[in-house]
């Protein structure tokens, strides 16, 4: 008897509903298997819920990877699906996946077409396989275009086509049913959130406050701070609220588009608007919404519009990476400072020519996002860096007196790498744990549908959705950890190369380029905390470990500082 497993996949939550596509799929596959005299259905079933076979790569689909590993372990002989598109809809990837299963002795059968796995030496069969999934990919592309066209028409009629309700609204059943038998929802205003939306628009229009200022005000408001989405108001949330026409009663489509797996905001001139407003969902008067867009555009034009159109010659002086960008932290909130810029303008008297220069700054992302923050939020690089470099040059001069320091540098570097690698391994392990939980829960969806599971289908799908959000969060953390580890891969050979090209280490900070400075800073400094009044430098090597008499007080030093911060 041949050991048989089945693969079921649905691409949306609606298809998980009882008597929906999933239950029909399962029964058809079971009937097909029972008609084969030498097949024995295995207890294990592969299931993918709410997962597109067109948008998602094979490598990112955990169930397909699990089926592949089980095939490699010789756990089964045949994989049965309802239709070939249940495997996927990507021309080259799916064909390669089918042949990978074949290499482990597993054939794929479909209820519609029978065996679709060609032999490894059947070139014509493999070409037909590629053609099969090429057609599937084209079909999905065509369907996507039809869906977008239909969505555009529905939005023009005032229908809400988004998946998640914007802030200020909730989704409730409308009583309407789609032609596919799915219950449709519509937007309903949430009064307490609508009150916040009105306040945001008033601050933007009447006070002419920007998104950062508004988010800061809301976070400090006694009532509104508790009504923030995801516990805190951020400038990005404010921008989204101030630019969404739904608050004036107009649903919109194509406000963003997906490119290479990421969404990008489109210009408002490319949006598709409802032909007339829905007064039941309008929170802001249409005239007020338009005024806010105009005033925001005017403020943006003041700072962002093309300087060339103003007959301004731009002198760019911030093309390189900031030398302290890896080690500089805000002394108030502890967040790492990020790259920013500000402009200076002047006019040459003799010619009347207007000019501007771009000045590099370090800025605190918390303060810039409107999160409650004490005092200073940005510092000019040309004022901070000389202070740090002067202290660092003195420190370097002391290091030159003892060759054992080089060994210490290497040991510190290796120790840091080990810590970063450990952090990465921990996050990757946590990510894998979350993904395994998602897989287990998705495998239990059929049991939830039949009532043989402690949770209802709706509860289970909700938990799966939360875990997928957590999965995306940990994926971002893993990417950040990998980037941090890659940034530390400046070897001791690179370090010795730098030393050989300069007469003394102190000269680096007055003559070398930014990249070289950054390398040396990262080698010697663990962290710098900056406030309005001081710069605290924590060196990686404590000089007291190498000299009898202290040359610098300890492994860190606090330097009085009076920056021009705003």
For the chain, domain boundaries? 2-151, 169-305, 310-400+527-566, 404-503
Q: What's the confidence (pLDDT) of residue 151? A: 54
Q: What's the confidence (pLDDT) of residue 16? A: 43
Measured between alpha carbons, how far is 390 from 289 in angstroms, rounded to an integer?
Answer: 52
Q: What's the confidence (pLDDT) of residue 123? A: 77
> From the CB of residue 178, how many other CB atoms can be counted at a distance below 10 Å?
9
Measured between alpha carbons, how far is 372 from 378 in angstroms, rounded to an integer?
Answer: 15
Comparing CA positions, the residue from 419, 398, 367, 373 lying closest to residue 505 is 398
| CA dist 207 → 18, 291, 468, 484 (Å) | 52, 13, 40, 41
Largest distance between two CA atoms of the chain: 97
Q: What's the confidence (pLDDT) of residue 42? A: 92
Q: What's the confidence (pLDDT) of residue 104? A: 93
Q: What's the confidence (pLDDT) of residue 300? A: 59
Q: What's the confidence (pLDDT) of residue 113? A: 84
What are the helix (H) ranges across 488-562?
Answer: 492-501, 505-511, 514-524
Q: What's the confidence (pLDDT) of residue 94? A: 80
Rg of the chain (C-alpha set): 30
User: What architecture is domain 2-151?
Assistant: 3-Layer(aba) Sandwich (3.40)
Q: What's the confidence (pLDDT) of residue 508? A: 54
Q: What's the confidence (pLDDT) of residue 283? A: 94
Structure-token match 């709706």, residue found: 458
Structure tokens given for 442: 């998705």
What secondary structure letter does DSSP report for 333? T
Q: What's the confidence (pLDDT) of residue 491? A: 47
What secondary structure letter does DSSP report for 564? -
Quote the crossing angle between the two packed helices 514-524 and 492-501, to the nearest 10°: 120
Which CATH number fits the domain 169-305, given the four candidates 3.40.50.620, 3.40.630.10, 2.40.50.180, 3.90.1750.20? 3.90.1750.20
Encode the chain (566 residues) as per-residue pLDDT tens digits: 999 999 988 765 444 443 446 778 888 899 999 999 999 999 899 988 765 544 567 777 888 899 999 999 999 999 999 887 778 767 667 878 888 899 999 999 999 889 989 887 787 777 777 777 766 666 655 555 655 555 556 555 656 655 678 899 998 887 776 655 556 678 899 999 999 999 999 999 888 888 888 998 999 999 999 999 888 999 889 998 998 888 988 877 655 665 555 555 656 666 666 778 888 889 999 889 988 988 887 765 554 444 444 444 433 333 346 888 889 999 888 888 888 766 666 677 776 666 666 678 898 888 877 777 777 778 888 888 888 888 877 777 766 666 566 666 667 777 778 888 888 899 999 999 998 888 888 778 777 766 778 887 778 878 888 888 888 888 889 888 887 777 665 444 555 555 554 445 555 555 666 766 777 787 778 899 998 888 999 887 666 555 443 444 444 455 555 554 44
What are the helix (H) ranges across 263-309?
Answer: 286-304
Measured between alpha carbons, how far is 543 from 398 in angstroms, rounded to an integer?
Answer: 8
């Amino acid at each position: 008897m041949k050991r048989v497993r089945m693969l079921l996949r649905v691409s949306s939550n609606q298809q998980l509903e009882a008597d929906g596509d999933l239950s029909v799929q399962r029964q058809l596959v079971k009937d097909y298997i029972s008609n084969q005299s030498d097949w024995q259905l295995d207890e294990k079933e592969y299931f993918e819920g709410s997962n597109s076979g067109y948008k998602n790569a094979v490598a990112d689909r955990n169930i397909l990877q699990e089926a592949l590993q089980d095939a490699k372990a010789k756990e089964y002989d045949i994989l049965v699906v309802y239709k070939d598109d249940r495997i996927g809809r990507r021309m080259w990837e799916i064909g390669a996946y089918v042949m990978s299963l074949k290499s482990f002795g597993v054939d794929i059968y479909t209820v519609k077409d029978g065996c679709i796995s060609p032999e490894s030496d059947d070139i014509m069969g493999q070409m037909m396989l590629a053609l099969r999934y090429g057609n599937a990919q084209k079909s999905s592309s065509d369907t996507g275009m039809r869906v977008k066209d239909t969505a555009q028409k529905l939005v023009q009629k005032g229908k809400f086509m988004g998946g998640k309700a914007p802030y200020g609204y909730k989704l409730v059943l409308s009583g309407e049913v789609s032609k596919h038998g799915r219950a449709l929802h519509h937007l309903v205003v949430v009064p307490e959130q609508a009150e916040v939306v009105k306040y945001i628009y008033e601050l933007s229009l009447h006070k002419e406050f920007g998104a950062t200022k508004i988010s800061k005000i809301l976070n400090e408001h006694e009532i509104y701070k508790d009504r923030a989405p995801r516990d805190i108001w951020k400038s990005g949330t404010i921008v989204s609220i101030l630019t969404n026409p739904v608050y004036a009663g107009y649903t919109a489509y194509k406000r963003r588009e997906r490119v290479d797996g990421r969404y990008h905001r489109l210009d408002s001139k490319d949006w598709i608007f409802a032909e007339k407003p829905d007064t039941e969902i309008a929170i802001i008067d249409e005239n007020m919404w338009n005024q806010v867009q105009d005033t925001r555009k005017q403020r943006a034009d003041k700072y962002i519009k093309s300087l060339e159109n103003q007959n301004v010659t731009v002198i760019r002086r911030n093309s390189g990476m900031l030398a302290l960008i890896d080690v500089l932290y805000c002394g108030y909130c502890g967040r790492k400072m990020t790259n920013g810029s500000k402009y200076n303008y002047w006019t040459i008297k003799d010619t009347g020519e207007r000019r501007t220069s771009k000045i590099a700054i370090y800025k605190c992302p918390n303060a810039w996002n409107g999160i409650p923050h004490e005092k200073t939020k940005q510092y000019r690089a040309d004022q901070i860096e000389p202070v740090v470099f002067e202290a660092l040059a003195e420190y370097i001069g002391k290091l030159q007196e003892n060759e054992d320091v080089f060994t210490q540098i290497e040991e510190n570097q290796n120790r840091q790498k080990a810590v970063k690698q450990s952090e990465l391994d921990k996050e990757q392990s946590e990510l894998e744990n979350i993904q395994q939980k998602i897989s287990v829960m998705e495998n239990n969806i059929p049991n939830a549908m039949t009532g043989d599971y402690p949770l209802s289908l709706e509860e289970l799908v909700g938990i799966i959705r939360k875990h997928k959000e957590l999965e995306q969060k940990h994926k971002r953390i893993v990417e950040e950890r990998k980037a941090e580890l890659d940034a530390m891969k400046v070897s001791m050979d690179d370090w010795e190369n730098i030393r050989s090209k300069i007469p003394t280490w102190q000269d680096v900070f007055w003559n070398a380029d930014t990249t070289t400075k950054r390398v040396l800073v990262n080698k010697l400094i663990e962290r710098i905390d900056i406030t309005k009044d001081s710069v605290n430098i924590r060196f990686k090597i404590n000089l007291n470990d190498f000299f009898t008499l202290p040359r610098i007080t300890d492994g860190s030093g606090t330097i009085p500082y009076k920056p021009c911060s705003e």
